[in-house]
Amino acid sequence: MKIARFTSGDDPHYAVVEGEELVVLTGDPLYTPPIPTGQRVPIDAVRLLAPVIPRSKVVCVGRNYAEHAAELGHEVPEEPLLFIKPNTTVVGPDDPVVLPRYSSEVHHEAELAVVISRMCKDLSAERAGEVILGYTAANDVSARDAQRSDATWTRAKMFDTSCPLGPYLVTDLDPADLRITARVDGELRQDGSTAQMVRSVAELIAYASTIFTLLPGDVLLTGTPAGVGPIEHGQRVEVEVEGIGVLGNPVLR
């Protein structure tokens, strides 16, 4: 099932994507079984939103692709390298990524994102599938100069608009070998696969759940393949994950 969150000028709604149309649903799929209302609207007649706004947090994984770690001069860490983005970083398709004034070197990072369906703590990797609602595409926008200079990644990773998500939430998807790409003004920058991840989705969920409780609507970003690079005012960055779609955002200063 491919789920969209959208607005047509009123409150946000959820819908199932069927071709070029949206079949509107009642309620929020995180908390209630999706029931069609019978209403259909063309996709091009609405504004797509981020498929989920985390109630709590976005959990991100650094250096989970060996070639990406190497391109930045790092080794793959012995344990997953986690950091948090607040929910104020999340924007949706076609929303602008606003470059922070304190940075002159902001990079795109195309990623597969996992949406958590229910509360869990100290979960085993074998049971991780039980808490996955679905998958979407993400861009872990990063102020690289601040990442190098600061002791923490707060300014580098946690600024407003630094976590575009979308365009859809896909519930039936095997994350083991999905192509991930990033394009800037049509130029291919990143071209990798989730098969290159050092640690799998299940391993990452299990590890994160040993540190803090995962809540419904939490989002897990699983790392980025090699090829990250700068984005500048006036450009458009597009992240595509196989089976999910294209997440495009303009870049503004």
Across 125-153, b (16+ Cβ under 10 Å) vs e yields: beebeebbbbbbbbbbbbbbbbbeeeeeb
CA atoms within 13 A on the CB side of 58: 30
Q: For the residues 220-229, what does the mean pLDDT come to?
A: 98
Degrees to nearest 5, angle at CA 225 with 128 and 60: 45
Give the pLDDT confidence of 112-165 residue by residue, as tens digits.
999 999 999 999 999 999 999 999 999 999 999 999 999 999 999 999 999 999
CA proximity to 60, closest of 79, 85, 78, 90: 85
What is residue 65's predicted lDDT score, i.e. its pLDDT? Answer: 95
Chain-centre distance for alpha carbon 179: 14
CA atoms within 13 A on the CB side of 7: 8
What is residue 32's predicted lDDT score, i.e. its pLDDT? Answer: 85
Task: Show Cβ contacts of residue 58 under 8 Å, excluding neighbours closer than 6 positions.
Answer: 84, 85, 86, 87, 89, 90, 163, 218, 219, 220, 221
How do the residues of the chain divide into helix, strand and coil, expressed in percent and rounded to 5?
15, 40, 40
Q: CB–CB of 222/197 below 8 Å? A: yes
DSSP alpha helices (H): ranges in the chain?
66-71, 144-149, 154-157, 201-211
Distance CA 220, CA 207 (A): 11
Give the pLDDT confidence of 164-206 residue by residue, as tens digits.
999 999 999 999 999 999 999 999 999 999 999 999 999 999 9
Residue 9 clears pLDDT 90, i.e. is over it: no
pTM above 0.85, yes or no: yes
Domains of the chain: 2-48 (2.30.30.370), 58-252 (3.90.850.10)
Give the tokens for residue 165.
């998500």
Q: For the residues 64-77, what does the mean pLDDT come to?
A: 93
Distance CA 45, CA 21 (A): 9
Query: What is the residue whose two structure tokens read 């994950």?
Result: 241
